[in-house]
Amino acid sequence: MGKLDGKAAIITGSAKGIGRAIAVAFAKHGADLLLITRSTPLDRLAETCRAHGSNVECITADISDPAQALAAIETCKDVFGKVDILVNNAGIARDGLLVRMKDHDFELVLKTNLTGSFNCLRAATKIMMKQRYGRIINISSVAGQMGNVGQINYSAAKAGLIGMTKSAAKELASRSITVNAIAPGFIATDMTNAMSDRAKEEALKLIPMGRLGDVDDIAAGALFLASDDAAYVTGHTLSINGGMYM
Ligand code: NAP
The torsion angles phi and psi of 209, rounded to 5 degrees, stand at -75, -10
Task: Enumerate residues lining ligand 1, CB below 6 A.
Answer: 12-13, 15-19, 36-40, 62-64, 89-92, 112, 116, 139, 141, 184, 186-187, 189-192
pLDDT score at 42: 97
pLDDT for res 198 = 86
| 5 backbone dihedrals φ, ψ, rounded to 5° | -55, 130
Per-residue pLDDT of the chain (246 residues; tens, 9 = 90+): 899 999 999 999 999 999 999 999 999 999 999 999 999 999 999 999 999 999 999 999 999 999 999 999 999 999 999 999 999 999 999 999 999 999 999 999 999 999 999 999 999 999 999 999 999 999 999 999 999 999 999 999 999 999 999 999 999 999 999 999 999 999 999 988 888 888 888 889 999 999 999 999 999 999 999 999 999 999 999 999 999 999
Task: Specify the residue with its C-alpha closest to ligand 1, atom 10.
Answer: 13
Which atom of ligand 1 is the closest one to the Cα of 91? 32
Q: What are phi and psi of 50, to 5 degrees?
A: -65, -35
* CA 17 to ligand 1: nearest atom: 26
| Nearest CA among 35, 154, 155, 38 for reference residue 87 | 35
**CA 3 from centroid of its chain's CA atoms:** 19
5: which DSSP letter? T
Active site residue 133: no
pLDDT of res. 203 = 87
Backbone angles phi, psi at 205, to 5 degrees: -65, -25
- The pLDDT of residue 191 is 87
Q: Nearest CA to 221 among 190, 199, 245, 242?
A: 242
Q: Which among 133, 154, 232, 245 is annotated as catalytic? A: 154
